Amino acid sequence: MISVSNSEQQKIIKKVYNHGHEQIFRFWNELDVSLRERLLQQIDTVDFELLERLFKSSQEQEHGEDTINLQPAEIITLLDREKNDKDVLPLGEKALRNGEVAAFLVAGGQGSRLGFDGPKGIYPVTPVKQKSLFQNQTEKLLAMAEKYGKIIPWYIMTSQTNHQQTKEYFEQENYFGYKADKVKFFMQDMLPAVDFNGKLILDKKSHFFESPNGHGGSIKALWDSGSIKEMEKNGIKYIFYFQVDNVLVNICDPYYLGYHIAGNAQVSNKVVHKVNAEEKMGVICKMNDKTGVLEYSDLDEKDMYALDEKNDLKYWGGNTAVHVFSVDFIRKENESGFRLPYHIANKSIPYLNDDGKIVKPDEKNGMKFETFVFDAMADAQKVTTIEIKREEEFSALKNKEGSDSPETVLRDQLKLFASWLQNAGIEVPLEPLVKLEISPLFALHAGDVQKKKDKIPAPFNGMYVE
């Protein structure tokens, strides 16, 4: 065993040997004092018992899986909403006016599919002004603050991979006019990946590979960062959770909040109708009587194509990853320790070869462990799910090209803006789509455009409405 004079550091080293990860000291002799310290500090954050448990369960999963009793979940459909929206709206609006709602953005992911250098939220998305995802979201929140006379506290979860850059971006841009003291950044935890023998993987001589612990880590990070206590102190009861990449997200939607409150739910969920059976979306369903989201890859073919009595897909509700959580539910999720299950994904992970050179393998060489936020639904006594119109509220930026890419996100915004104008009786061609953008500060939905249509010059030939 390598030895150092500092007894605390020696304990850390011993832990590594006890758990059989001593290969991470392969380059110890080449490291100077500060790099050695850095490696030991990283080791000190690792929960080796957890890693061992996860690796063991990965081996067990390969032998057979439990069968799940799958049933459709209850969903408040668009048709139901035509009747009920007006009844729940006052509840949501009241919560907003009373300052009982916080916005919560999870932006700790690595955005590897998009391949953008920097936090995904900085990616320019709007058609004319090329506003970033973050700016677009901030302006939506500014518009909500104006509407309801209350600035909505905004919690933003980042991870070690992008925390600094995200904060600096907001600071540089003066928070796009939002009150800086209403925006709080905090980081989620990281978790090491392991190779197929369960060993840590060096990606530098003084560092092993880690990745954020999944969006489910937000449940823990809300607690660890003191945000839940702060919310309770400030009278916040509901957390509006959204992800960084949905350009059409309807932030703090009062109808949605209203359904959550009326249903006495602890967690709520928004779904869209899947385009077809094969669309790669998790579906909302009941698994062994508990409402939750079943990942696309876990839905077997029979259930994927199954039809109901109306000849519609039996599992049609595609998860959009927009949730409302009651604050007291997040407290309960944490009081006896974080308990979301970890999912295992085999990935190609960069590693140092024997010569100390970094290798980016084409094939999968290890596994990452991630938690998913929707797994928290299984712990809720009451989950409310509502259907939304995809063209109005859901278009995600995930990939460099093809589906869910800059191209589709642009198209979906153009279509939506054009439809708002048309709805207000303003002529705009739909084929081909014209380049135009409506600022969230002008309108958040068709109704706002309708009300303000006199402010739009006729004939409409502008590209940007603000």
C-beta of 154 vs 420, nearer to ligand UTP? 154
C-beta of 112 vs 348, nearer to ligand UTP? 112
Residue among 100, 210, 245, 437 that touches ligand UTP (CB under 6 A): 245
Query: Does position 318 bind ligand UTP by CB under 6 A?
Result: no
Query: Does position 408 bind ligand UTP by CB under 6 A?
Result: no
Q: What is the 3-state secondary structure (H, E, C) of the chain?
A: CCCCCCHHHHHHHHHHHHCCCHHHHCCHHHCCHHHHHHHHHHHHCCCHHHHHHHHHHHHHHCCCCCCCCEEECCCECHHHHHHHHHHHHHHHHHHHHCCCEEEEEECCCCCCCCCCCCCHHHCECCCCCCCEHHHHHHHHHHHHHHHHCCCCCEEEEECCCCHHHHHHHHHHCHHHHCCHHHEEEEECCEEECEECCCCECEEECCEECEEECCCCHHHHHHHHCCHHHHHHHCCCCEEEEEECCECCCCCCCHHHHHHHHHCCCCEEEEEEECCCCCCCCCEEEEECCEEEEECHHHCCHHHHHCECCCCCECCCEEEEEEEEEEHHHHHHHHHCCCCCCEEEEEECCCEECCCCCEECCCCCCEEEEEECHHHHHHHCCCEEEEECCHHHHCCECCCCCCCCCHHHHHHHHHHHHHHHHHHCCCCCCCCCCCCCEECCCCCCCHHHHHHCHHHCCCCCCCCEEC
C-beta of 158 vs 206, nearer to ligand UTP? 158
Task: Give the shortest CB-114-to-ligand UTP separation in angstroms.
Answer: 6
Task: Give the shortest CB-108-to-ligand UTP separation in angstroms.
Answer: 3
Q: Binders of ligand UTP among 168-207, rule CB under 6 A?
A: 188
C-beta of 97 vs 113, nearer to ligand UTP? 113
Query: Does position 111 bind ligand UTP by CB under 6 A?
Result: yes
Residue among 24, 157, 294, 449 that touches ligand UTP (CB under 6 A): 157
Q: Binders of ligand UTP among 205-234, rule CB under 6 A?
A: 212-215, 217
Query: Does position 403 bind ligand UTP by CB under 6 A?
Result: no
Query: Does position 348 bind ligand UTP by CB under 6 A?
Result: no
Residue among 25, 76, 92, 109 that touches ligand UTP (CB under 6 A): 109
Name the residue with the smallest CB distance to ligand UTP.
109
Residue among 6, 45, 59, 112 that touches ligand UTP (CB under 6 A): 112
Q: Binders of ligand UTP among 115-134, rule CB under 6 A?
A: 120
Site for ligand UTP, rule CB under 6 A:
106-114, 120, 157, 159, 188, 212-215, 217, 243-245, 398
